[in-house]
Amino acid sequence: MAGFTSSIGRSGLVASVLALTALIAGPALHAQDAPPAAQEHAAPSGARTGSAGNRAATPPGSASAADQHKLPADSTTTQTLKLPGRTLSFTATAGSIRLFDDKGEPQADIAYTSYQLDGTDRASRPVTFFFNGGPGASSAYLQLGNAGPWRIGIDAASVTPSSKPDLLPNADTWLDFTDLVFIDPVGTGYSRFVATGEDVRKRFFSVDGDVRSLSLVVRRWLEKNDRLASPKFVTAESYGGIRGPKIVQNLQQDQGVGVSGLILVSPLMDFRDYSGSSLLQYVASLPSFAAVAKQMKGPVTRADLADVERYASGDFLLDLVKGEADLEATNRLADKVASLTGIDETVSRRLAGRFDVSEFRREFDRKNGRVTGRYDGSVLGIDPYPDSSHSRSSDPSGDVLTAPLTSAAVELTTRKLNWRPDGSYELLSGAVNRSWDFGRGISPPESTGELRQILALDPKLKLLVGHGLFDLATPYYGSKILLDQLPAFARPPRVKLVVYPGGHMFYSRDDARKAFRGELEALMK
């Protein structure tokens, strides 16, 4: 699931990204026990490290600040999961990996959970690393809603904040065909800083610092578990569209770790396409707006939107380019958008047919005092301020999941996996999101360059991109436009886009989750 809203201009597609990260697994050994010679350096390239500010807070003779903040020793348990037609026996580890700067100063403890199937050949057995988005989201969405051994219901159409978070065996777990490692970036889940001072936060809460730290965690987990020879896959959701390709590139070129496949779930890959002046944001959103309108009358598939996609990339774009100075083109566009979305023609003309996501959510069913979800536009909720001149509603498709997912993550970690950190579990950290350095300026973050490079460098690397039709946070058509720009070496079947009825967490729907699992199993064979 996506975690937060990054508004980029009035008409910016709100780029929020969630969801996917859980905790990475480690062996029976404690990740913090590595001697200084084996310490991992977490500072981004070019960043200052080892500042005195990381040491000065602790008086002589007292426990170090790092010891005061460290997470408990890893917990490894044996588990058995009974599923329809099979029983899975596996080893689960909940723990952390400590990262150090280039002077050997401890910086952060990165929490993970891992699941390794018993009785397999580790040299040939795939292992998949999971990251969610935000920035500031933990990996609970992907673990507990999609791929982990246990899951809870997260279909926003039926879940409420007070829903009981029952952990049930997940018949659609990916553990049948790959081992699983869910990683929580620092500030999410139970991951935490052990160094003090703002400098360390600035290094980690940035596009490049985040990529470097998480790539180090992946490499360290592989080393500790003797899995460097295993086929390796990276799965990243939402903001993971930025994070995932950059991690793969860092693994390839800086960590000496090859990756067999990259799976992007509801990704945002280029912030530039959703900035205030970009016309592509309207092109990318229109098919999803139309899908939301169509599904109110019955089931919808992507095939039902073929005409809308052609219009979005054709006459719609041509009229957009003419601008509001061309009144005839503007009215033609506005009236067509009204017919596709069901929004009142007067409203569409007032907005010149250029709806940003917040405007569409507010106007779609305003006459009935309801707003659509952002993560899933097919979910409608009550507008708490229907007469307000501006939108003041929460997201009925996303915010309802916070309580049950948080409770389930704590239950899984502390009871099933017997790992009991102090402090609170951070499902979605607003502090991380607000502190994030996107490095926008004249060069907003994007990962299409890294995609080209990693696919060119390794002709065996495969890419699978999954989306939901009703996702208004990261619309599927935006990814299609970007993937269509890739060179011939990055075309189907090597690069594949799949789209399902559903929202940002399309895997919350049974049919979509099963179908996506099938795609993954085929990819890893």
Structure tokens, 331: 């009215």
Of 184, 151, 72, 155, which is closest to residue 426 (Cα–Cα)? 184
Return the H-helix or E-strand segment holding 99: strand 86-100
Total residues found in the chain within this entry: 525
Amino acid at 235: T
Cα-to-chain-centroid distance, residue 242: 9
Q: Vertex 344, ends 340 and 347: CA angle to 5°?
A: 110
Across 367-378, average pLDDT? 90
Residue 81's pLDDT band (boundaries 50, 70, 90)? Answer: very high
- Structure tokens belonging to residue 58: 């602790």
Residue 401: the pLDDT is 85
Cβ atoms < 10 Å from Cβ of 91: 17
Q: What's the confidence (pLDDT) of residue 407? A: 93
What confidence tens digit (pLDDT) does each residue in 425-458 have?
A: 999 998 898 888 888 655 678 899 999 999 999 9
Mean pLDDT of all residues in 298-325: 96
Q: Can you tell me the distance from the alpha carbon of 283 to that of 521, in angstroms, rounded to the nearest whole number?
A: 33
DSSP state of 446: B
Min mean pLDDT across 144-153, 401-410, 431-440 is at: 431-440
pLDDT bracket for residue 275 (50, 70, 90): low
Mean pLDDT of 72-82: 96
The whole-number average pLDDT for the span 284-307 is 96
pLDDT for the residue numbered 505? 95
Q: Are 160 and 272 in contact (CB under 8 A)?
A: no
pLDDT at residue 5 in the model: 37
Vertex 293, ends 162 and 286: CA angle to 5°? 110
pLDDT score recorded for residue 11:
39
Q: What is the pLDDT of residue 199?
A: 86
Please give the pLDDT value at position 238: 95
- pLDDT of res. 8: 36
Q: How far apart are CA 168 and CA 81, in angstroms?
A: 10
Q: What is the mean pLDDT of residues 347-362?
A: 92
Is residue 135 scored above 80 in pLDDT? Answer: yes
Which tokens go with 302?
A: 């992507």
What is the per-residue pLDDT across 173-205, written as a single tens digit (0 to 9) for each?
999 999 999 999 999 999 999 998 888 888 999
Would you say residue 59 has pLDDT above 60? Answer: no
Rounded Cα–Cα distance for residues 91 and 34 (Å): 22
Of these ranges, 50-54, 195-199, 325-329, the one predicted with the greatest mean pLDDT is 325-329
Contact of 251 with 288, CB cutoff 8 Å: no
450-477 mean pLDDT: 97
What confidence category does residue 390 fall into, taking pLDDT thresholds of 50, 70 and 90?
Answer: low
Where do the domains of the chain lie, and which CATH numbers do they carry? Answer: 1-32+74-525 (3.40.50.1820)
Instruction: Provide the pLDDT for residue 278.
Output: 86
* DSSP conformation letters of 179-248: EEEEE--TTSBT-EE-S-SHHHHHHHSBHHHHHHHHHHHHHHHHHHTT-TTS-EEEEEETTHHHHHHHHH
Residue with tokens 């990916």: 174
Average pLDDT estimate for 315-319: 97
Residue 76 pLDDT more than 80?
Answer: yes
Angstrom distance (rounded) from CA 96 to CA 83: 29
How would residue 392 be classed by pLDDT, with cut points 50, 70 and 90?
low
Q: What is the mean pLDDT of residues 503-515?
A: 96
Q: Which of 519, 450, 518, 521 is nearest to 490 (CA)?
A: 450
Per-residue pLDDT tens over the stretch 88-115:
999 999 999 999 998 899 999 999 999 9
pLDDT band (50, 70, 90) for residue 485: very high
Q: Which residues are registered as beta bridge partners of 497?
A: 465
Comparing 335-339, 363-367, 390-394, which segment has the lowest mean pLDDT?
A: 390-394
Residue 37 region by backbone torsions, left for phi larger than 0, else alpha for psi between -120 and 50, else beta: alpha
Indicate the pLDDT class of residue 32, thresholds 50, 70 and 90.
very low
Position 58 scores a pLDDT of 42
- Would you state the structure tokens that stand for residue 524, as one six-digit string? 């890893």
Report the mean per-residue pLDDT for the chain: 86
Residue 123 Rama label (left phi>0; alpha psi -120 to 50; beta): alpha
> What pLDDT is stored for residue 17 in this prediction?
38
The stretch 216-223 carries a mean pLDDT of 98
DSSP string, 41-76: B-PPTT---S-GGGTTTSPTTSPPHHHHHPPPPPEE
Q: Identify the pLDDT of residue 164.
A: 84
Q: Flag whether the pTM goes above 0.75.
A: yes
Determine which of 323-332, 356-365, 411-420, 465-474 has the lowest per-residue pLDDT on average: 356-365
Q: Report residue 393's pLDDT band, with 50, 70 and 90 as the boundaries.
A: low
267/18: higher pLDDT: 267
Amino acid found at 126: P
